[in-house]
Structure 1
């Protein structure tokens, strides 16, 4: 191992010198392992937080994927991006906390450079894809709401944009594999000087190329976030202006009333309306009608006024939902990026704080995971149909007889 090579590189060739060096090496290794255990105990609060986030994130996004793929598999135009977001969130809730746990468990004895490089790349890749996907969603929502009579994004366009953005993110992050290395840090513990190994993306003696790369990476991510924010500001103005007008004109239906109206007449329900609109958009995609806003298309369908109001409320829910997802993503992702930028050349930053401050720093640094955990709860709050199917799924599981009873009855 690299650690063994470091400890043995200056040993004496004589038998007595060899035994002494081996004894010193064994002593230093035991001290280093003891120091690593001490750091792990100090980081235990953050470890518990990351385990909880992993648990709720994996369970929540698994439910989202099951419901959307099995019960809402038609993927209407409003929900098109949600399964892709859920896949990214699921991966992020597995990869991010796992890497955090490895860093806490092997703070100064990180075992492998390959694991270090792979986990850094995978963690950044899931976060980068999430940010780019929200950017595509913002463009789509902006065109539909603020430019309703201009050319709109079809399913084909959405797939192309996602493929392009994912390819760009993957290529941008590829150099990180070469710049992330195991870093050697000298510590003094119990009056002994030991050399620890940590996984870090920044080298205090980094080259000009590394500095330029990390600067460009942060700049591109910041630009995507800013552009997404600008688009959502425009979307938010229109959405809340419409909500304000509706409150002035009449009392908007409550979520219970909307949910009741949806179930009351399935033939004229919101979901039949969405299927009709989707079919109309697909059939006329080669004509100018497919470029019109969804709201103008629903008027062509000649819906009852009550269903038109229900559908508008339903669609506004999706605008607010994606706006909420973006806000949570930004609030949780930006601090993590700032920590990387501020501590670019300070590998020892995570070892220079007392217990409370250390866990606060670690939690804020890894705050990006919270966004991926919260998204399923955001879907459940705004998407009443999703919530209904989740409840139905759990009720079905609760009513299912035990496995042994099934065998006995058969």
Structure 2
């Protein structure tokens, strides 16, 4: 007696009596489509091999560079904590950003048409957005701090409490902006009309509310543009102030041949009370000076001069409001003030360069985000080679996370010194 059993293949139930030939045909078609999809995905991944090599270099460079920055600035360097306070936090955000974003890019390249794990896709988009927003918000905080220190030295500065509050607020705001990524991104259909197959890629969901998706995309672009404009405005004012100070310093360095200077030069030096300069000057361990005197030195562009008459009484006379170097200020004190200003300006220029690289790397990403928000089939319309080029430009923002250690090495002499010392110990 012949017995028939029902069976389930690929989610479809075949009852007793079904044609064996029909069942075999369906199994062959399913296997055929799966093979075609796998072959198509392999071709897409092969075309993105150069992109994967670059992303792997991003991971390696970001890991080594930012780890070294955290190690040296946090545990090795002791001097000038005021100027270097934000550097370890920015390096931590850059480290996480380079690892998460670059590894996410490699995963997307390898699974262009076979990204079937919806939850992994959503989690990766969340962490990529969180690390990216954190790094950008940290740069805004640093720009505000440099603006207060350089442009408004007499105003209230950022205390340690406010610095910690600003960092915590940045993390919170970055988290709030990254959470919606879980709702608007996931595995979406990726059709190949020529081959008659449909894959899955990790991208913006098309099944969600289109209006809400556009509002969210517009909000992200608006926030990014606001950060960029804020950075440009703040550092433009900072750069103008620094250039004006350098111009003023050159004027001060010129010899004064006015009659007043000639008169004062005729005064008996034994009757002039010159401030003592025997005390120690260095406030730090790295050969630079503390920047705490930066506020007072700008408010006292020309301190009063003191003359002693033969009777022993001291006469104080205010100088003109013209900004001239006080000839009776000790050379040591003037040297200390110049070093203070040089430290402030050097670190400001360093952060300014970091911000310029940030803007160069993020502006192309913002443009592509705008185009992607307007066109739901943005990525599908490119050829395979064109898509590889656009993906490279889109992920250029990761360069921002890996170049900062190089900038520190060139512009922070103490950091470069510690790097050389570390290499000597490793040999």
Q: Which TM class, normalised by the smaller chain length?
A: 0.7 to 0.9
Counterpart position of 1:393: 422
What's the offset of the Cα at 1:394?
Answer: 0.6
Structure 1 Cα separation of the partners of residues 53 and 218 of structure 2 = 33
Tell me which of 69, 74, 78 is aligned to 1:69.
Answer: 74
SS at match of 2:81: coil
What's the offset of the Cα at 1:74?
Answer: 6.2
Tell me which of 100, 107, 120 is aligned to 1:115.
Answer: 120
Q: Does structure 2 retain, via aligned residues, the 8 Å contact 1:144–1:294?
A: no
1:145 aligns with 2:158: no
TM-score using structure 2 length: 0.78
SS at match of 1:197: strand
Q: Does structure 2 retain, via aligned residues, the 8 Å contact 1:277–1:297?
A: no
Q: Does structure 2 retain, via aligned residues, the 8 Å contact 1:204–1:346?
A: no
What's the offset of the Cα at 1:347?
Answer: 5.1
Gap change, CA 1:152 and 1:358, over 3 Å in 2: same
1:271 aligns with 2:274: no
SS at match of 1:340: helix
Q: Does structure 2 retain, via aligned residues, the 8 Å contact 1:92–1:123?
A: yes
Counterpart position of 1:197: 200
Cα offsets for 1:385-409 (capped at 9, x unmatched): 11110111111111xxxxxxxxxxx
TM-score using structure 1 length: 0.81
Cα offsets for 1:251-296 (capped at 9, x unmatched): 9xxxxxxxxxxxxxxx644625999848x79xxxxxxxxxx83755
What's the offset of the Cα at 1:316?
Answer: 1.0
Tell me which of 301, 311, 315 is aligned to 2:344.
Answer: 315
Instruction: Tell which has more relative contact order, 1 or 2 (C-alpha 8 A, sep 6+).
Output: 1
Residues 217-366 of structure 1 correspond to what in structure 2 (within 5 A)?
217-247=220-250, 268-269=281-282, 271-272=284-285, 277=290, 293=295, 304-344=333-373, 346=375, 348-354=377-383, 356-366=385-395
Tell me which of 27, 30, 34 is aligned to 1:22.
Answer: 27
Structure 1 Cα separation of the partners of residues 26 and 161 of structure 2 = 67
Structure 2 Cα separation of the partners of residues 131 and 294 of structure 1 = 32
Structure 2 Cα separation of the partners of residues 11 and 236 of structure 1 = 73
Tell me which of 388, 404, 416 is aligned to 1:375.
Answer: 404
Q: Does structure 1 retain, via aligned residues, the 8 Å contact 2:136–2:227?
A: yes
Structure 2 Cα separation of the partners of residues 11 and 347 of structure 1 = 36
Cα offsets for 1:324-345 (capped at 9, x unmatched): 1111111101211221221125
**Runs of 4+ in structure 1 over 6 Å off:** 9-12, 273-276, 297-300
Gaps spanning 5+ residues in structure 2: where? 1-8, 255-279, 304-329
What's the offset of the Cα at 1:122?
Answer: 0.8
Counterpart position of 1:3: none
What's the offset of the Cα at 1:90?
Answer: 0.5
What's the offset of the Cα at 1:205?
Answer: 6.5
Equivalent residues, number: 364
1:207 aligns with 2:192: no
1:41 aligns with 2:46: yes
Structure 2 Cα separation of the partners of residues 62 and 294 of structure 1 = 37
Structure 1 Cα separation of the partners of residues 406 and 393 of structure 2 = 21
Structure 1 Cα separation of the partners of residues 300 and 73 of structure 2 = 24
Structure 2 Cα separation of the partners of residues 68 and 315 of structure 1 = 17
Gap change, CA 1:341 and 1:146, over 3 Å in 2: same
What's the offset of the Cα at 1:244?
Answer: 3.6
Which stretch shows the higher mean deviation, 76-85 or 119-128?
119-128
Structure 2 Cα separation of the partners of residues 115 and 274 of structure 1 = 50
- Over aligned residue pairs, what C-alpha RMSD do you find? 2.9
Structure 2 Cα separation of the partners of residues 247 and 51 of structure 1 = 48
What's the offset of the Cα at 1:172?
Answer: 2.0
What's the offset of the Cα at 1:248?
Answer: 5.6
Q: Does structure 1 retain, via aligned residues, the 8 Å contact 2:288–2:339?
A: no
Structure 2 Cα separation of the partners of residues 48 and 353 of structure 1 = 22
SS at match of 1:349: coil
What's the offset of the Cα at 1:80?
Answer: 0.4
Structure 2 Cα separation of the partners of residues 275 and 45 of structure 1 = 45
Counterpart position of 1:184: 189
Structure 2 Cα separation of the partners of residues 298 and 361 of structure 1 = 55
Structure 1 Cα separation of the partners of residues 31 and 235 of structure 2 = 59
